[in-house]
Amino acid sequence: MSIENRTGLELLTIPEVGTILKISVPTVRRLQQQRKIPFFKVGGCVRFIRSDIDAYLQKRRVRSVDEYQ
């Protein structure tokens, strides 16, 4: 379950990121360990900021041929 703290940042767990990206938990862990997705640790638990996940998706978006014109 995601949490919203006082700063308005939506914090996500590894399984939540997997659900959003439609990938497995081990794949999320691999991306996190390879530091391909920004993360931070809180008390030993890995957390992600929703806007970082959205930015990760945006960076990997492949433009259509029509967008190049």
Residue-wise pLDDT for 15-37, tens only, equals: 999 999 999 999 999 999 999 99
Q: What is the pLDDT of residue 68?
A: 75
pTM of the full structure: 0.81
User: Which residue's structure tokens are 């919203």?
Assistant: 4
Phi then psi dihedrals of residue 3, to 5 deg:
-125, 145
Residue 18 is assigned to a structural domain of this protein: yes
**Number of folded domains in the chain?**
1
Report the chain's mean pLDDT, rounded to a whole number.
90
Rounded distance, CA 5 to CA 56, Å?
A: 21
How does pLDDT run across 42-52, given as a tens digit for each residue?
Answer: 899 999 999 99
Give CA–CA dist 47/4, Å, rounded: 12
Whether residue 67 lies inside any domain: the answer is no
CATH number at residue 15: 1.10.1660
Say how far apart CA 20 and CA 23 lie, in whole Å: 8
pLDDT at 9: 86
Within a domain: 68:
no
Q: What percent of the chain has pLDDT over 70?
A: 90
| Domain interval for residue 29 | 3-62
